[in-house]
Amino acid sequence: MINYFHLAQKIMFFCAIFNLSSCSQASRQWQYHSVLTDSPRFNFGRLFLPANSDPARLTMEIMKGRSGIRLYLNILFLQAPPCKEDPTLTKVDLFFEDKIISLYPQILQGGQKLLFSSNDTNFIIQTLLDNLPFTIKFGRHEIYIPLENFSKSYNKLMSLTVETYPPTY
């Protein structure tokens, strides 16, 4: 039987640690966090990249849970402007040394969290695994996506045992 009180305590502890770690600007590198339970069904892992000095406070996170791997861009003090063609999406640009790629993540409720498609998620993760840093620009705001600690943290995330939902198509 699952002890939900114990699970809630672990989640609250995780959130407290997250809040403390996200305040640190001394070292902008990928940070790995996990919540392990007695059942892999409730295990959860997360890679987090804190904000740079941009006033918009953009952060990025890769989550592994029951629904699989998800990549989010968080906009802490703004709301994402919707695309005219599809108001559920917004535009972000990835700036590489020699090219610019535009992606259209989904705007989640509240407008401050953007969910990348699975294809875009795979592209971004593979880009980082290939040691190619880049900058994401969103309107006037940007976040540099460094390589520091990414591969090591991503390998930890992938080794985390999580029971996922069956895929739906």
pTM, two decimal places: 0.76
pLDDT at 12: 56
CATH topology of domain 4-159: Immunoglobulin-like (2.60.40)
Minimum mean pLDDT range among 50-54, 126-130, 143-147, 156-160: 50-54
Mean pLDDT of 121-146: 92
Sign of CA dihedral 96, 97, 99, 100: positive
Q: Is the pLDDT of residue 51 over 80?
A: yes
> What integer best gives the mean pLDDT of the chain?
82
Higher pLDDT, 94 or 21: 94
74 pLDDT exceeds 80?
yes
Give the per-residue pLDDT at 21: 46
Tokens 């849970």 belong to 65
Alpha carbon 98 to chain centroid, angstroms: 25
Q: In the predicted model, is pLDDT for residue 153 greater than 70?
A: yes
Domain borders along the chain are 4-159
Amino acid 162: pLDDT: 81
> What's the pLDDT score for residue 62?
95
Query: Strand, coil or helix: what is 128?
Result: helix
4-40 pLDDT per residue, tens: 555 556 565 555 555 544 444 446 789 988 887 777 7
Local structure of residue 60 (DSSP, 8 states): E
Distance between CA atoms of residues 7 and 1, nearest Å: 12
- The whole-angstrom separation of Cα 45 and Cα 48 is 10
